[in-house]
A and B are shown apart, each in its own frame.
Chain A
Amino acid sequence: MFVEDFKTDFYEFLAGKRVFLMVHYDIDSICACKILQSLLKYRNILYTVAVIQRLEDLKRAYVENCEDVQYFILLNCGGTIDIVEELEPEEEKVFFILDSHRPIDVCNIYSTDQVRLLTRPEEDALVPEFNDIFRDQSESENESDSDSDNEGRASKRRRLGEEAILKRRENRLWEENRNKLLFEYSQFTYYARASAIFMFEYAWKLNKEDKDLLWLAIIALTEQLIFGKIEHTQYILEMEALRAHCTRLQHKSNDTDVLTSLKILFEKDLRLTLYRHWTVEHSLKYSMFTAIRMKLWTLKGDKKIHELLADMGLPLAQSRQHFKSMDLQLRKEFHSSLEKLSEKYGLQDIEFTSFILQYGYQHKYCASDIVFALIAILEASPRDKKPEELFNLALDCLSRNKKEIIDNAIEKAKIVAKSLFKTVQNALDMKQIINAGPFVYYIVQEGCLDWYMFSHQHILLLLSQFVLKAYVSMSRNKKASTLPLIISVPKNIENGTCILIGIPPVCETSPRNFFGKAFEQAAEKMNCEANCDYFDTSYIEIYSKDRTRFFDALAALLN
């Protein structure tokens, strides 16, 4: 069921109770968690936070804590699975779910009391009607009983009455209709509005919002844009709403001291990775946007960068300097001169609108900088760090007074950007992106330099988008833009498993992903052991030895 009134049914309801927060391991959840924490603190609601990566973690965390806690809040996890079936909770346990994964499981939607969804249903979600998918259990059970009785007792001679036949037929039709509706509903997996934005709006309704919380919502939105989880139009709509909040809060506050004032500025940003904290040359070279538009992995592309720099009037020596140390004049003109030349070099839409956070003189970061820094912390850290540790570090990174953590993370993010580029370049040079008919695939080999980094969800997503776009831009095949991509990366070398991700083709404008169902069916068809306990079902974990057969099954399915 959907929670109608956040204030009475959630916030006031939980006052004085102890809750258990289960937070998914991604940026949006971390932001939402931070907003929720500040809300809970206002009412002195005791909480415990646990990090959830997969379904398995969710179950374990539940089992460990179910004796002591009654109320569970799930952030970005659990919405897409049938909670009651998976966790088998006792009657009095209550789950509040705020999940941006779609589609929401129908059982959660129609649960009467135990599962309460904090999101609002989307208008275009086409949730099947209750009567179309659920029926009185006793009725159908009776029938199935009598059915089996009929068959069991060799009652072929007994003639069925016309009524019974009609009823059976009706049943069959109903079931067919049910399956069809459910399939249509769950065919595509996609992301809805970021949970952090929901949380921020709730905070706003409770009159407890401030600029820090707004910034968290902005980061969550930017993350969705960078990882292509939402369409650009949706981004613009959400951004305008946040911009209104931004101006309102700016006027409301009265901190005029430059040293300690917190400002969120609405500004145009470039689709260049971390350029404010890097050299211009590197940023141009390793950003996905420019790399694809100018085909920077080729020799020609390399020359093109120098051409562009010459056209901009940016001396090479300057472009190899840290952006902050460039001549003031050049730095000021950088934005406009790049914009002017964007048409000539095919870099249209290099600009997008975003926000900048400024705190005092030193602390000035773009929303996208923070997103890259966070992803570097969460997914590109050394192997011996546990996810909980990294989660805590990411939470620290979002607080204002930990500048050195952010700066370290940004350095790490540069390495991520470089290795993404190099992997793509390598894949194209060695022609490792293979066309399998209805889709293309690319296998990251075990010996590959950065395989461990790519075995994480979000960096893998970035890699897959990069690979597919690069492939399409290089391919002579006219149909290339209509082909989806699957990437396989080793996950656990000892067990010999690998993780697969599928992304929709370039020509699709909406990021709706059909691979969830396709993977499930292919795995079912070939009876292989597959581990699909990711909350985003476009990832699946299988044994590497089954991979070839799995691809064959998929090809057969998608043809």
Chain B
Amino acid sequence: MFAEKACSLIKELSRCEEGLPPYNIELVKEVCTEIKQLHEQNKEDGAIVANESEIAGNVNPLYPTLRIGSAAVKRNIRCLLAYHYNRLRTLRTMRWQFGSILPPDIKTNLSSDEIDWFSKYSSCLGKYMRSIGEDGLNLCLDLRPPKSLYIEVKCLIDYGKFELSDGTVLLLKKDSRHYLPRSECEELITQGVFHHIV
């Protein structure tokens, strides 16, 4: 059936809503060849129809075939667009979540064009953020307003000494609890040193 492969492409994407599945280059290529084939077919059929319509005024039996062919092409194109657009959308939210450097396991799932797009988007965003205010503003922080400026955290490993931005020094030992400014902890939480206690 026409457009079956394109449909499975979409299904594959929708199955993993959270992350990004690997860019399925083979299937995309197959869909493209299908489009090409259909296009060729349509062209041939179209030529026949055009020739015959000049001869006789009655309804040509090739009309439905022609219609279905062009509908399948359109559908294939729509599916491809949707596939790429949705991947880019996920990628954009990831830029806000993870910052300009993507985790390696996600990066391997991208196509080269997507990596290109990502770096361009990053630089655009970076440029915009630098232009706000006097010395820029990081819009990626605190996407949702924090409930409190300070949070309680549990230290997961023996980290050693850690200096806060105001100069005080902490000794971080495994399983010790600390109450610290949120901004200081964020980095260590993403590094897996701290666990946020809710």
Contact = CB atoms under 8 A, between A and B. Distances in A.
Contacts of B148: 41
Given A67-B169, A68-B171, A48 B149 contact: no
B179 A68 contact: no
Contacts of B178: 46-49
B177 A49 contact: yes
Interface in B170-198: 170-171, 173-181
A37 interface: yes
A251 B150 CA distance: 31
A403 to B, nearest CB: 15
Contact of B179 (A46, A65, A67): A46
A388 B176 CA distance: 7
A243 B106 CA distance: 57
B154 interface: yes
A68 B171 CA distance: 8
A44 interface: yes
A312 interface: no
A301 to B, nearest CB: 44
A30 to B, nearest CB: 12
Interface in B144-164: 148-150, 152, 154, 161
B150 A68 contact: no
A40 interface: yes
Nearest to B180: A46
B175 A48 contact: no
A465 to B, nearest CB: 32
B177 A68 contact: no
B168 interface: yes
Interface residues of A, number: 21
B75 to A, nearest CB: 49
Contacts of B176: 48-50, 388
B175 A392 contact: yes
A64 B171 contact: yes
A388 B155 CA distance: 11
Interface residues of B, number: 19
B179 A40 contact: yes
Nearest to A391: B175
Given A46-B180, A67-B169, A388 B150 contact: no
A391 B177 CA distance: 10
Contacts of B173: 50, 64
Contacts of A395: 177
Contacts of B179: 37, 40-41, 45-48
For the complex, would chain B's binding face be called helix, strand, loop or mixed by DSSP majority?
A: strand
A18 interface: yes
Contacts of B169: 67-68
Contacts of A65: 171
A386 interface: yes
B184 to A, nearest CB: 10
Interface in A419-465: none
A392 B177 CA distance: 8
A389 interface: yes
A67 B161 CA distance: 11
Nearest to A23: B177
Contacts of B150: 41, 44, 46
A545 B150 CA distance: 53
- Which residue, of B152, B175, B181, has the highest number of chain A Cβ atoms within 10 A? B175
A67 B170 CA distance: 10
A47 B174 CA distance: 16
Given A44-B150, A46-B180, A389 B175 contact: yes
B170 A68 contact: yes
Nearest to B177: A49
A44 B148 CA distance: 10
A41 B174 CA distance: 22
Given A68-B168, A68-B170, A386 B149 contact: no
A49 B181 CA distance: 16
B192 to A, nearest CB: 17
Interface string A64-84: 110110000000000000000
A392 B175 CA distance: 8
Contacts of B149: 44
Contacts of A41: 148, 150, 152, 179
Contacts of A49: 176-178
Interface in B108-146: none
Contacts of A386: 174-175
A388 B174 contact: yes
Interface in A37-65: 37, 40-41, 44-50, 64-65
Contacts of A50: 173, 176
Nearest to A50: B176
Interface string A455-497: 0000000000000000000000000000000000000000000
Contacts of B174: 386, 388
B154 to A, nearest CB: 6
Contacts of A64: 171, 173
A530 to B, nearest CB: 29
Interface in A1-56: 18, 37, 40-41, 44-50
Contacts of B181: 46
Nearest to A33: B177
A392 B154 contact: yes
Interface in A336-395: 386, 388-389, 391-392, 395
Contacts of B152: 37, 41
Nearest to B149: A44
Contacts of A18: 168
29 contacts: A37-B152, A37-B179, A40-B179, A41-B148, A41-B179, A45-B179, A46-B150, A46-B168, A46-B178, A46-B179, A46-B181, A47-B178, A47-B179, A48-B170, A48-B171, A48-B178, A48-B179, A49-B176, A49-B177, A50-B173, A64-B171, A68-B161, A68-B171, A386-B174, A386-B175, A389-B175, A392-B154, A392-B175, A392-B177
What 5 A-B pairs have minimum CB-CB distances, sorted nearest first? A388-B175, A49-B177, A68-B169, A47-B179, A48-B178
Given A40-B179, A41-B150, A388-B174, 17 more contacts: A41-B152, A41-B179, A44-B149, A45-B179, A46-B150, A46-B168, A46-B178, A47-B178, A48-B178, A49-B176, A64-B171, A68-B161, A68-B169, A386-B174, A392-B154, A392-B175, A392-B177
